[in-house]
Amino acid sequence: MPSVVHLSIKGSGRLLPLAVLDFSREGTEPELEQRAKMVSTFLGDDLRNGGRFEVLRDSLQVDSTGWAPVLDRWSAAGARALLRGAMRQKEGRTELFATLYRLPDQRVLIAKGYPVDQGQALEAAHRLSNDIVYALTGQEGIAFTQIAFVSQRRGDKEIYVMGYDGYDPRPVTNDRSINYSPDWSPDGRQVVYSSMRNGRWELFIADLVAGVKTPIRTSSTSNAAPTWSPDGRRVLFAMHTEGNTDLYTVTVPGWQLQRITDHPEVDTEPAWSPDGRQIAFTSDRAGSPQVYLMNADGSDVRRLTWEPDAYEGAPAWSPDGKRIAFLRRGFDLFDIYVVEVEGGTPVRMTSGGSSENPCWSPDGLQLAFSSNRTGNYEIYAMGWDGSNLRRLTYGGENILPDWSPVSIGNR
């Protein structure tokens, strides 16, 4: 079996140059050109927003000399890969036949058709984008991932999900109440969240495939900030009981409770490390809210953030477990910061308005968060280094995003 070589770009600080030729069409049907333009637009968004590629557009079409001169020209210009495609009718259906070449050796990495019948342009672009990412890097693409969030677009605070790019927002709950803190299960099938639907703060699990919502049984009427364990067997959350708020886990199913912290001050906003061995959380045990780390059993508590008199919280682990994004309040506004888990100086990622509740994309290349920089709170995404800021929602106060695992796009 021949060896497979992938082009490494993650962590290099440099985007991989990818030449994308204008899609041609085999036929005169008007819908071929229209669908070619739609797929091209969606694909360009996927490739640029993914944080891996520098997309180089080219309108040049091949002539009688063949493809070799085109590939040689782009190889000499520094491109590491080239994509071409032809929209065509095949067996009564419309498809885009795409070919991806690795440069400079001109090896064909992709040569396949993608259905582009009515309404399939976005799906075709997502599938091709994911195939390109895998072919060039050996990693799974995120084009089919989703973001869960809280929206007030219909008056109440309901849980919604949408594509990672903001397309197709749709409600998960319709409780006419207050729902908060959605968090995806590791398999991408369920979302756990807190709700006031019954007049008290309860936790629920929404099965997005079966459409069933199951209450989590606890010994309190005040439960908040739930998050799944990496193995999907437990939910970690903050529970107020006996006059104090501490962190607990509950098994799913079975609902067996285990106390993780026991401190007279408030412990909340927990986040499990990707390997399940550590927990980051917010606590005001030092006088003001700060981010702390501890082992998953509650031992070895240590402080991560140290800004004097600042409010710091809402920690979120990067998928590789090396960084934590969090929010910090300064001059009555919040901003997103990222700090190495081993310590160091936090790096500020946002400015303008108030930015809160960061979450990572499953490949660790992007952050989503909520911000009121345009007046209302909306969901935004950006590169993990603060680059390529883009807005995902429009109208209705949208907060508390959580990015799905990549597995949701591979079912």
- Four-residue CA torsion sign, 407, 174, 223, 357: positive
Local structure of 37: helix, strand or coil: helix
E strands, 265-397, are 267-272, 278-283, 290-295, 302-303, 311-317, 323-330, 333-340, 347-348, 355-360, 366-371, 378-383, 390-391
**pLDDT given at position 278:** 98
Q: What angle do CA 15, 19, 22 make, to 5 degrees?
A: 140
pLDDT of residue 92: 84
pLDDT at site 277: 98
Could you list the pLDDT tens digit for every one of the 411 residues in the chain?
333 333 433 334 589 999 999 999 888 788 889 999 999 999 999 999 999 999 998 765 555 467 888 899 999 999 999 999 999 988 889 999 999 999 999 999 999 999 999 889 999 999 999 999 999 999 999 999 999 999 999 889 999 999 999 999 999 999 999 999 999 999 999 999 999 999 999 999 999 999 999 999 998 999 999 999 999 999 999 999 988 999 999 999 999 999 999 999 999 999 999 999 999 999 999 889 999 999 999 999 999 999 888 999 999 999 999 999 999 997 779 999 999 999 889 999 999 999 999 999 999 999 999 999 999 999 999 999 999 999 999 988 999 999 999 865 543
pLDDT at 60 (0 to 100): 59
Q: What is the pLDDT of residue 63?
A: 53
In angstroms, the CA 57 to CA 49 distance is 15
What DSSP element (H or E) covers 309?
A: none
pLDDT of 96:
96
Q: What is the pLDDT of residue 178?
A: 97
Domains in the chain, CATH or no CATH each: 16-137 (3.40.50.10070), 146-409 (2.120.10.30)
Who contacts 299 (Cβ-Cβ below 8 Å, separation ≥6)? none
pLDDT at 2: 37
HSE-CB for 126 with a 13 A CA cutoff: 18
Side-chain half-sphere of 363: how many Cα atoms within 13 Å?
25
Count of other CB atoms within 10 angstroms of residue 336? 27
With residues binned 3-state (H G I as helix, E B as strand, rest as coil), the percentages for the chain, rounded to 5, are: 10, 45, 45
**C-alpha closest to that of 170 among 147, 204, 186:** 147
pLDDT of residue 330: 77
Looking at residue 184, its pLDDT comes to 98
Q: Is the dihedral of CA 30, 33, 37, 39 positive or negative?
A: positive
Q: Where are the alpha helices (DSSP H) in 176-272?
A: none
Distance CA 70, CA 85 (A): 14
